Amino acid sequence: MFSVRVRGAVLAAVSVSVFVLLSAGCSASPDGTTRRARNDRPRRVKQRLVDEAFQKLASGPQRARTGPGSVDTLKAVENLIRDLAKYDVDVLREVVKRVEAAPIDQRITLEDNILVLNRYIFNVPADAQIFHAYLARLDARDALWPWVVEKGGDLRLAYTPSVYSGPPPEILMEFDYYRKEYGIRKIKSNNP
Protein backbone atom coordinates (compact mmCIF):
# COMPACT_ATOMS: atom_id res chain seq x y z
CA MET A 1 0.00 0.00 0.00
CA PHE A 2 2.82 2.36 0.91
CA SER A 3 4.65 1.70 -2.38
CA VAL A 4 1.45 2.40 -4.37
CA ARG A 5 1.11 5.80 -2.68
CA VAL A 6 4.77 6.62 -3.33
CA ARG A 7 4.48 5.56 -6.97
CA GLY A 8 1.30 7.63 -7.32
CA ALA A 9 3.00 10.66 -5.77
CA VAL A 10 6.04 10.27 -8.02
CA LEU A 11 3.84 9.87 -11.09
CA ALA A 12 1.85 12.97 -10.13
CA ALA A 13 5.06 14.96 -9.59
CA VAL A 14 6.45 13.84 -12.96
CA SER A 15 3.16 14.73 -14.68
CA VAL A 16 3.14 18.19 -13.11
CA SER A 17 6.81 18.71 -14.08
CA VAL A 18 6.14 17.73 -17.69
CA PHE A 19 3.10 20.01 -17.83
CA VAL A 20 5.08 22.94 -16.38
CA LEU A 21 7.98 22.39 -18.79
CA LEU A 22 5.74 22.12 -21.83
CA SER A 23 3.64 25.13 -20.90
CA ALA A 24 6.82 27.16 -20.26
CA GLY A 25 7.92 26.76 -23.85
CA CYS A 26 10.10 23.67 -23.50
CA SER A 27 10.19 20.70 -25.79
CA ALA A 28 11.41 17.15 -25.49
CA SER A 29 14.10 15.74 -27.70
CA PRO A 30 12.89 13.00 -30.07
CA ASP A 31 14.06 10.29 -27.67
CA GLY A 32 12.29 12.03 -24.78
CA THR A 33 15.35 12.08 -22.54
CA THR A 34 16.31 15.75 -22.46
CA ARG A 35 14.51 19.04 -22.48
CA ARG A 36 15.53 22.39 -23.82
CA ALA A 37 13.85 25.75 -24.13
CA ARG A 38 12.45 26.14 -27.63
CA ASN A 39 13.73 29.64 -28.29
CA ASP A 40 16.88 29.44 -26.20
CA ARG A 41 18.91 26.90 -28.16
CA PRO A 42 20.42 29.18 -30.85
CA ARG A 43 21.64 31.66 -28.21
CA ARG A 44 23.14 28.91 -26.05
CA VAL A 45 24.78 27.21 -29.01
CA LYS A 46 26.18 30.52 -30.20
CA GLN A 47 27.54 31.32 -26.73
CA ARG A 48 29.19 27.90 -26.60
CA LEU A 49 30.82 28.57 -29.98
CA VAL A 50 31.93 32.04 -28.86
CA ASP A 51 33.47 30.53 -25.73
CA GLU A 52 35.17 27.83 -27.79
CA ALA A 53 36.58 30.29 -30.36
CA PHE A 54 37.73 32.71 -27.67
CA GLN A 55 39.50 29.88 -25.83
CA LYS A 56 41.29 28.88 -29.04
CA LEU A 57 42.38 32.48 -29.54
CA ALA A 58 43.48 32.91 -25.92
CA SER A 59 45.43 29.66 -25.79
CA GLY A 60 46.87 29.95 -29.29
CA PRO A 61 50.23 31.32 -30.38
CA GLN A 62 50.76 35.07 -30.38
CA ARG A 63 52.65 37.11 -32.94
CA ALA A 64 55.24 39.35 -31.36
CA ARG A 65 54.63 42.99 -32.22
CA THR A 66 58.27 43.98 -32.24
CA GLY A 67 60.12 41.04 -33.72
CA PRO A 68 59.87 38.64 -36.60
CA GLY A 69 59.38 35.54 -34.50
CA SER A 70 60.20 32.09 -35.77
CA VAL A 71 58.89 30.40 -38.88
CA ASP A 72 57.21 27.85 -36.60
CA THR A 73 55.41 30.63 -34.71
CA LEU A 74 54.23 32.18 -37.98
CA LYS A 75 52.91 28.83 -39.17
CA ALA A 76 51.18 28.22 -35.83
CA VAL A 77 49.52 31.66 -35.97
CA GLU A 78 48.48 31.07 -39.57
CA ASN A 79 46.93 27.72 -38.60
CA LEU A 80 45.12 29.37 -35.68
CA ILE A 81 43.68 32.07 -37.95
CA ARG A 82 42.59 29.50 -40.54
CA ASP A 83 40.92 27.48 -37.79
CA LEU A 84 39.12 30.54 -36.37
CA ALA A 85 37.97 31.51 -39.88
CA LYS A 86 35.83 28.36 -39.94
CA TYR A 87 33.48 29.90 -37.34
CA ASP A 88 30.43 31.91 -38.35
CA VAL A 89 31.20 35.62 -38.75
CA ASP A 90 28.67 36.55 -36.05
CA VAL A 91 30.43 34.22 -33.61
CA LEU A 92 33.76 35.85 -34.48
CA ARG A 93 32.27 39.30 -33.94
CA GLU A 94 31.32 38.28 -30.39
CA VAL A 95 34.90 37.06 -29.86
CA VAL A 96 36.21 40.44 -31.07
CA LYS A 97 33.84 42.22 -28.66
CA ARG A 98 35.12 40.06 -25.82
CA VAL A 99 38.75 40.85 -26.71
CA GLU A 100 38.00 44.56 -26.89
CA ALA A 101 36.39 44.43 -23.44
CA ALA A 102 39.25 42.41 -21.91
CA PRO A 103 41.68 43.94 -19.40
CA ILE A 104 44.54 45.75 -21.17
CA ASP A 105 47.20 43.16 -20.28
CA GLN A 106 45.12 40.36 -21.84
CA ARG A 107 43.87 42.52 -24.70
CA ILE A 108 47.35 43.38 -25.95
CA THR A 109 48.20 39.72 -26.41
CA LEU A 110 44.95 38.93 -28.25
CA GLU A 111 44.20 41.95 -30.44
CA ASP A 112 47.20 41.40 -32.67
CA ASN A 113 45.77 38.08 -33.87
CA ILE A 114 42.35 39.74 -34.30
CA LEU A 115 43.96 42.27 -36.66
CA VAL A 116 45.41 39.33 -38.61
CA LEU A 117 42.04 37.53 -38.53
CA ASN A 118 40.15 40.59 -39.82
CA ARG A 119 42.37 40.72 -42.89
CA TYR A 120 41.99 37.01 -43.52
CA ILE A 121 38.22 36.63 -43.28
CA PHE A 122 37.26 39.83 -45.09
CA ASN A 123 38.07 40.67 -48.69
CA VAL A 124 40.27 43.62 -47.71
CA PRO A 125 42.12 45.34 -50.57
CA ALA A 126 45.67 46.60 -50.04
CA ASP A 127 44.54 50.24 -50.06
CA ALA A 128 41.78 49.85 -47.44
CA GLN A 129 41.44 52.05 -44.39
CA ILE A 130 43.37 50.76 -41.38
CA PHE A 131 42.42 50.93 -37.72
CA HIS A 132 45.77 50.37 -36.06
CA ALA A 133 48.99 52.28 -35.51
CA TYR A 134 51.72 50.05 -36.92
CA LEU A 135 54.33 52.36 -38.37
CA ALA A 136 54.92 52.18 -42.10
CA ARG A 137 55.79 54.60 -44.86
CA LEU A 138 52.64 55.91 -46.52
CA ASP A 139 53.79 54.62 -49.91
CA ALA A 140 54.47 51.18 -48.38
CA ARG A 141 51.23 50.88 -46.41
CA ASP A 142 49.30 47.73 -47.22
CA ALA A 143 46.04 47.02 -45.38
CA LEU A 144 46.50 43.28 -45.94
CA TRP A 145 49.78 43.31 -43.99
CA PRO A 146 50.99 40.93 -42.55
CA TRP A 147 49.35 38.72 -45.20
CA VAL A 148 50.71 38.40 -48.72
CA VAL A 149 48.75 37.10 -51.67
CA GLU A 150 50.39 34.09 -53.28
CA LYS A 151 50.07 33.08 -56.92
CA GLY A 152 46.65 31.53 -57.24
CA GLY A 153 45.17 33.92 -54.67
CA ASP A 154 45.92 32.07 -51.42
CA LEU A 155 47.02 34.14 -48.46
CA ARG A 156 50.25 33.45 -46.58
CA LEU A 157 51.28 35.03 -43.31
CA ALA A 158 54.61 36.78 -43.91
CA TYR A 159 55.52 38.85 -40.90
CA THR A 160 57.81 41.78 -41.39
CA PRO A 161 58.74 43.54 -38.15
CA SER A 162 57.07 46.84 -37.43
CA VAL A 163 56.82 49.13 -34.45
CA TYR A 164 53.42 49.77 -32.87
CA SER A 165 52.91 53.36 -31.83
CA GLY A 166 49.58 54.78 -30.85
CA PRO A 167 46.30 54.06 -29.13
CA PRO A 168 44.90 50.54 -28.95
CA PRO A 169 43.65 49.29 -32.31
CA GLU A 170 39.93 49.66 -32.97
CA ILE A 171 39.46 45.97 -33.67
CA LEU A 172 35.65 45.90 -33.47
CA MET A 173 35.27 49.05 -35.58
CA GLU A 174 37.65 47.54 -38.13
CA PHE A 175 35.76 44.22 -38.08
CA ASP A 176 32.41 45.93 -38.72
CA TYR A 177 33.83 48.28 -41.37
CA TYR A 178 35.61 45.53 -43.31
CA ARG A 179 32.54 43.31 -43.11
CA LYS A 180 30.24 46.03 -44.43
CA GLU A 181 32.59 47.48 -47.05
CA TYR A 182 34.36 44.40 -48.40
CA GLY A 183 32.38 41.32 -47.40
CA ILE A 184 33.64 37.88 -46.57
CA ARG A 185 36.67 36.65 -48.46
CA LYS A 186 36.23 33.58 -50.63
CA ILE A 187 38.98 31.37 -49.25
CA LYS A 188 40.57 29.42 -52.07
CA SER A 189 42.10 26.87 -49.76
CA ASN A 190 41.77 26.56 -46.02
CA ASN A 191 44.75 24.25 -45.78
CA PRO A 192 48.01 25.52 -44.32
Residue of 123, 126, 166 lying closest to 145 (CA atoms):
126
**For position 44, what pLDDT does the model report?**
73
- What does the alpha-carbon distance between residue 172 and residue 176 come to, in Å, rounded to a whole number? 6
Distances (CA, A) of 40 to 45, 52, 95: 9, 18, 20
Is-contact 95 54, C-beta < 8 A? yes
pLDDT score for 181 = 94
| Whole-angstrom distance, CA of residue 82 vs CA of residue 110 | 16
User: Which region holds residue 11: left if phi is over 0, alpha if psi is between -120 and 50, else beta?
Assistant: alpha
CA nearest to 24, candidates 14, 39, 12, 13: 39
The one-letter code for the residue type at 94 is E
HEC letters along the chain:
CHHHHHHHHHHHHHHHHHHHHHHCCEEECCCCCCEEECCCHHHHHHHHHHHHHHHHHHHCCCCCCCCCCCHHHHHHHHHHHHHHCCCCHHHHHHHHHHHHHCCHHHHHHHHHHHHHHHHHHECCCCCCCCCCCECCCHHHCCCCCCEEECCCCCEEECCCCCCECCCCCCHHHHHHHHHHHHCECCCCCCCC
In this prediction, residue 127 carries a pLDDT of: 82
The pTM assigned to this predicted structure is 0.68
β-sheet bridge partners, residue 149: 155
pLDDT at 142: 74
Residue 158 has what pLDDT?
Answer: 80
Q: What is the pLDDT at residue 152?
A: 82
159-173 pLDDT, tens digit per residue, is 655 556 567 788 899
Q: What is the pLDDT of residue 151?
A: 85
Low-confidence spans in the chain with pLDDT less than 50: 2, 6, 10-11, 13-38, 65-66, 135-138, 191-192
The pLDDT score that the predictor gives to residue 25 is 42
Q: What's the confidence (pLDDT) of residue 6?
A: 46
| CB 84 within 8 Å of CB 117 | yes
